[in-house]
């Protein structure tokens, strides 16, 4: 077996890099030219810049105005109170 | 589409470089780990096989380090990401995909440390170097998880197919290597014990031989 030349590995790696670079450039350019589809995919891959800051940079958080939501309470039904019939107490007074 | 290329390159060029170099680095790390495990397991005992494997292993490892270096530099230079030196140098500082990028930073440090330690094995000792070199599998595992968790191209079928197809033989070879290492240490232990016994008997044998 012959010892492989280091150049072969480097040329192979460089070729793969160039192919990937060209494919990705075309893919992103196609996404940029068409407003839908891949552009949305790209936006998904790269989230909002605010998320990318490191901890060293202080973040100013803006609270989104919260919408007032009426608490939903179940309508209380009127229930007839149950009571025992107490026989009238007859008191005799002498 | 062609007219959009200059704009794409000016705005997202570093991102494209970082993505491309990351895929190249992952392919090379996978190849290097696969070759290293194949060499260690000694499945083929042909003359020249070990030499060829060693050369390929070294070359793929060095090329992987170059690709990792380009990936780190491209991430650092990305004008959209703006990670800062701390973001790429200190694990878990970059808040975007904090965990997955953090293990990526650790994997890069391990790759450079374990990869370049090959050239310092005389200074650190062959035994210690060999023990440390076994941890190289961690570079592959951490790199794989970093790619799956934070990579932009890990959703592609091609990448998933490559990662899946290569992960299985690497896992099998790793288990085989662990078994081989255990068998080797057992053999060495037995040989050392036999050597001690032979050493103890030797003077007597010599005496007998001399007298006969």
CB atoms within 10 A of CB A24: 20
Classify the C-alpha dihedral B126-B129-B131-B133 as positive or negative: negative
CB atoms within 10 A of CB B74: 21
The pTM of the full predicted model, rounded to 2 decimals, is 0.72
Residue A87 has pLDDT above 50, yes or no: yes
User: What confidence category does residue A75 fall into, taking pLDDT thresholds of 50, 70 and 90?
Assistant: low
Q: How far apart are CA B109 and CA B117, in angstroms?
A: 12
What is the per-residue pLDDT for B86? 94
What is the per-residue pLDDT for B105? 96
Instruction: Give the mean pLDDT per block of 10 residues along chain B (212 residues).
Output: 84 93 95 90 74 90 96 94 92 92 96 93 90 91 94 85 91 86 78 75 45 32
CB atoms within 10 A of CB B22: 27
Render pLDDT for A6-57 as a digit per residue (tens, 0 to 9): 788 999 999 999 999 999 999 888 887 775 444 444 444 565 444 444 444 4
CB contact under 8 A, B9 and A46: no
Q: Which of B178, B73, B163, B69 is nearest to B116 (CA)?
A: B69
Please give the ipTM for the structure prediction: 0.80
**Closest Cβ–Cβ partner in A17, A25, A55 for B21:** A17
CA of A50, closest CA in chain B: separation in Å? 9
Q: Does A37 touch chain B (CB under 8 A)?
A: no
What is the per-residue pLDDT for A44? 44
Residue A61 has pLDDT above 50, yes or no: no
What is the per-residue pLDDT for A72? 61
What is the per-residue pLDDT for A70? 59
CB contact under 8 A, A26 and B5: yes
Q: Does B156 touch chain A (CB under 8 A)?
A: no
What is the per-residue pLDDT for B199? 65
Q: Does B95 touch chain A (CB under 8 A)?
A: yes
Q: What's the N-to-C CA distance of chain B in angstroms? A: 96
Average pLDDT, chain A: 66
Residue A77 has pLDDT above 70, yes or no: no
3-state secondary structure of B72: helix
User: Minimal Cα distance from A3: which residue of B?
Assistant: B52
Q: Does B195 touch chain A (CB under 8 A)?
A: no
What is the per-residue pLDDT for B47? 75
């Amino acid at each position: 077996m012959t010892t492989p030349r280091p150049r072969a590995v480097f040329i192979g790696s460089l070729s793969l890099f160039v192919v990937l670079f060209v494919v990705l450039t075309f893919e992103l350019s196609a996404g940029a030219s068409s407003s839908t589809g891949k552009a949305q995919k790209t936006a998904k891959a790269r989230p909002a810049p605010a998320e990318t800051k490191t901890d060293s940079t202080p973040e100013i958080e803006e609270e989104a105005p919260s919408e007032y939501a009426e608490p939903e309470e179940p309508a209380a039904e009127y229930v007839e109170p149950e009571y025992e019939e107490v026989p009238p107490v007859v008191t005799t007074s002498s | 589409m062609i007219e959009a290329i200059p704009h794409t390159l000016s705005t997202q060029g570093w991102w494209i470089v970082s993505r491309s170099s990351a895929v190249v680095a992952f392919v090379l790390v996978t190849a290097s780990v696969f070759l290293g495990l194949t060499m260690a397991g000694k499945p083929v005992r042909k003359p020249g096989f070990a030499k060829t494997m060693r050369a390929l292993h070294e070359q793929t490892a060095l090329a992987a380090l170059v690709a990792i270096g380009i990936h780190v530099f491209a991430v650092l230079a990305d004008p959209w990401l703006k990670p800062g030196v701390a973001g790429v140098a200190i694990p878990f500082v970059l808040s975007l995909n904090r965990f997955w990028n953090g293990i990526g930073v650790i994997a890069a440090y391990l790759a450079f440390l374990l990869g370049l330690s090959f050239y310092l094995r005389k200074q650190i000792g062959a035994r210690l170097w060999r023990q440390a070199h076994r941890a190289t599998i961690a570079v592959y595992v951490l790199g794989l998880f970093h790619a799956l968790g934070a990579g932009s191209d890990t959703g592609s079928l091609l990448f998933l197919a490559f990662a899946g197809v290569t992960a299985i033989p690497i896992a099998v070879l790793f288990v085989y290597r662990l078994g081989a290492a255990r068998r080797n240490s057992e053999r060495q232990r037995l040989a050392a014990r036999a050597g001690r016994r032979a050493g103890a008997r030797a003077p007597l044998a010599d005496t007998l031989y001399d007298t006969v």
